[in-house]
Amino acid sequence: MNQPTPEQLQIFLDIATEAAMEAGTILQAYWGKLETVEEKGRPGDLVTAADKDAEAAVLKVLRRHVPEHSILAEESGQIGDDNSEYLWAIDPLDGTTNYAHQYPIAAVSIGLLIAGMPQVGVIYNPFREELFRAAKGLGATRNRRPIQVSKTSDLSKSLLVSGFAYDRRETSDNNYAEFCYLTHLTQGVRRSGSASLDLADVACGRLDGYWERGLSPWDISAGIVLVEEAGGKVTAYNGSPLVIASGRILATNSQIHDNLSKELLQVPPLSSWK
């Protein structure tokens, strides 16, 4: 298929923004008023009425504007034609655990993949009133003002962020060793509990790099566009092109990318630590 024009991408960006704002209003309405919090089969993998209603609001907006497009939503799964070149990846509430505890690091994340490549992304944290938007070739913004990645070039002076997958209790491939190892090599590693906001923070220069595993397309599709349009770099751990389905991502300001990739690949297993 032909690459969409900037005008078409702007339309998709505006649609994503409308959907994110609608969902954000619902998340604000439920804030501090949840009656039940359920687990989706794995300890710590939570879902609430806020997740479900926010997702329904996003789906309603997309069906009104682009009914022919396919959708991959965290709570509803795959919707529409599997062969569509257009796939919306939706997380109606990224950071559900935070949200359930009224910790205001949570967001709506809406990304549009075209022919498998993330090209539009909107991330909205209604609790801090931060709206991040980006589209391929159109730049990245926070609250409508341009953003760019940091200029940190020394890994030892960087501030990183990461997270831990829901299966961390059952698997040794759990990111603990990498988290500790890189804490020793940098000025610090943070864990926010929201992959989309981690990527947004790299895009706007608050953080210098991010890596994580066990992720789904709806966690990272929007954030990938933000980081790249803000001047950053996104790859697999080893620096090769990112395969979104792998669930592993390395995103940086580009300045520390090669060094961070190198260190990630040589982290000794936690069982060998004294």
Report the range of poorest mean pLDDT among 16-25, 70-79, 136-145: 70-79
Q: Which of 73-82, 143-152, 221-230 has the lowest mean pLDDT?
A: 73-82
Residues 142 and 131: beta-carbon distance below 8 Å: yes
Look at the alpha carbons of 56, 62, 67, 70 in this order and tell me if their dihedral is positive or negative.
Answer: negative
Q: What mean pLDDT, rounded, does the chain reach?
A: 93
Last residue of a domain, one of 146, 170, 186: 146
Domain match, 160 and 130 both: no
How many structural domains does the chain have? 2
Question: Which of the 8 DSSP states describes residue 146?
Answer: E
Residues 180 and 98 in one domain: no
Domain range spanning residue 54? 6-146
pLDDT at 1 over 70: no
Domain boundary among 117, 146, 175: 146
In this structure, are 103 and 223 located in the same domain?
A: no
Q: Which has the higher per-residue pLDDT, 272 or 182?
A: 182
Q: What is the pLDDT at residue 58?
A: 98
Whether residue 15 is found in the same domain as residue 102: yes
Same domain, 59 and 128: yes
DSSP class of residue 267 equals P
Q: CB–CB of 128/222 below 8 Å?
A: no
Asked whether residue 166 falls in the same domain as residue 114, the answer is no
Q: Could you tell me the pLDDT band of residue 273, with boundaries at 50, 70 and 90?
A: low
pLDDT (0 to 100) of residue 268: 83
> Distance between CA 85 and CA 115 in Å, rounded?
5
Residues 30 and 140 in one domain: yes
Binding residues for Mg(2+): 74, 91, 93-94, 219
Q: Identify the CATH number of the domain in which residue 116 sits.
A: 3.30.540.10
By percentage, how much of the chain surpasses pLDDT 90?
83
Same domain, 38 and 118: yes
Name the E strands within 26-128. Answer: 37-39, 46-48, 70-73, 77-79, 86-94, 107-114, 117-125
- Average pLDDT of 121-150? 98
Residue 82: what pLDDT? 83
Q: What local confidence, expressed as pLDDT, does residue 75 receive?
A: 87
Do both 232 and 249 map to the same domain? yes
Global pTM exceeds 0.75: yes
Tokens representing 139 are 């730049």
Integer CA distances (angstroms), 24 to 103, 127, 248, in order: 15, 9, 27
Report residue 265: phi and psi, to 5°: -75, -10
Q: How far apart are CA 127 and CA 106, in angstroms?
A: 8
Is the confidence at residue 235, as pLDDT, over 90? yes
Cα 207 from Cα 72, distance rounded (Å):
28
Q: Identify whether residues 142 and 214 lie together within a single domain.
A: no
Kindly state the percentage of the chain with pLDDT values over 70.
Answer: 91
Least confident interval from 27-36, 72-81, 203-212, 249-258: 27-36
Helices first, then strands: H and E counts in the chain: 7, 15
The model's pLDDT over 20-61, given as tens digits with 9 standing for 90+, comes to: 999 999 999 999 887 776 665 555 556 788 999 999 999 999
Query: Which residue type is seen at 268?
Result: P
Listed residues 94, 122, 146: the one ending a domain: 146
Task: Tell me if 1 is assigned to some domain.
Answer: no
Whole-number pLDDT of residue 39: 66
Note the pLDDT tens digit of each residue in 162-219.
999 766 556 667 899 999 999 999 999 999 999 999 999 999 999 999 999 999 999 9
Residues flagged as binding site = 74, 91, 93-94, 219
